[in-house]
């Protein structure tokens, strides 16, 4: 059973860059695309971007210019960097996996989430 | 823009009842690209259904999904106390833009 655990700061100042890490355990990092999502009361569930260990990736067009997802196979971790944070980026951030296959795009498993607040 | 609209916003039922949740797509959607999730307070969403009707691992068979075109349904045949939660549908037709519905809250009547 693949388990995911997010880590990172809960508080970020405006205009700073958010860095979050998700540790993968109980399975191979090669079997999924690794994705970051967030959830806020105002915008609901929103995907940010994903990456496969092979390098293929994609980003939500609305966040593409500020987001970057990386995968570290040696540490079995993947990470999110989101630059130029504003109050609108305050949300619960989740890491999740998309099983690789001829059709993909559903999210399983999920981390438990980490609340990120943007405030000075 | 691909929009998923869920109804009702809130559904009030009792344990043992049958629940029927709706998800309507703004454009026709191949049923292979529709998923359902359950989210309880303070928890991450949990995958229930993918491909519109395939249950995820470990999901009880009282959960079933159906639909095609623009209309999809999640049915819970007989509600258990642990089923009261918020349910989301999600489309993954395009890897450029995954979208979720706004959710249906299933509450105890």
Q: Beta B104-108 vs A11-12: how paired, if at all?
A: unpaired
Tokens of B85: 């939660």
Identify which of B44, B88, B97 has the shortest CB distance to residue A61: B97
Mean pLDDT, residues A36-53 taken together: 94
Size of interface A-B (CB pairs under 8 A): 50
- Write out pLDDT tens, residues B6-63: 999 999 999 999 999 999 999 999 999 999 999 999 999 999 999 999 999 999 999 9
A110 in reach of chain B (CB within 8 A): yes
Residues in contact with A42: Cβ distance below 8 Å, sequence separation at least 6, in sequence order: none
B51 in reach of chain A (CB within 8 A): yes
Facing residues of B108 across strands? B13
Q: Which residues of A touch B59 (CB under 8 A)?
A: none
Mean pLDDT, residues A28-45 taken together: 93
- Write out pLDDT tens, residues A66-106: 999 999 999 999 999 999 999 999 999 999 999 998 888 99
Three-state DSSP at B93 gives coil
The most confident of the ranges A38-52, A76-90, B84-98 is A76-90
CA distance B36 to B45: 9
Mean pLDDT, residues B79-108 taken together: 93
Three-state DSSP at A73 gives coil
């Amino acid at each position: 059973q693949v388990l995911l655990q997010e880590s990172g700061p809960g508080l970020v100042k405006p205009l700073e860059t958010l860095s979050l890490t998700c540790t993968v355990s109980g399975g191979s990092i090669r079997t999924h695309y690794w994705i970051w999502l967030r959830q806020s009361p105002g915008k609901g569930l929103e995907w940010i971007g994903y990456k496969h260990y092979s390098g293929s990736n994609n980003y939500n067009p609305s966040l593409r210019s500020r987001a970057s997802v990386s995968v570290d196979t040696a540490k079995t971790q993947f990470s999110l960097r989101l630059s130029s944070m504003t109050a609108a980026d305050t949300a619960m951030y989740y890491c999740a996996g998309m099983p690789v296959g001829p059709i993909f795009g559903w999210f399983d498993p999920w981390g438990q989430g980490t609340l990120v607040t943007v405030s000075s | 823009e691909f929009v998923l609209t869920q109804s009702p916003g809130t559904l009030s039922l009792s344990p043992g009842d049958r629940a029927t949740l709706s998800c309507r797509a703004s454009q026709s959607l191949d049923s292979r690209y529709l998923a359902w999730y359950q989210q309880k307070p303070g928890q991450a969403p949990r995958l229930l259904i993918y491909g519109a009707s395939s249950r995820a691992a470990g999901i009880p068979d009282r959960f079933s999904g159906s639909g095609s075109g623009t209309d999809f349904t999640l049915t819970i045949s007989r509600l258990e106390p642990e089923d009261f939660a918020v349910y989301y549908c999600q489309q993954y037709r395009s890897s450029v833009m995954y979208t979720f519905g706004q959710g249906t809250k299933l509450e105890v009547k």
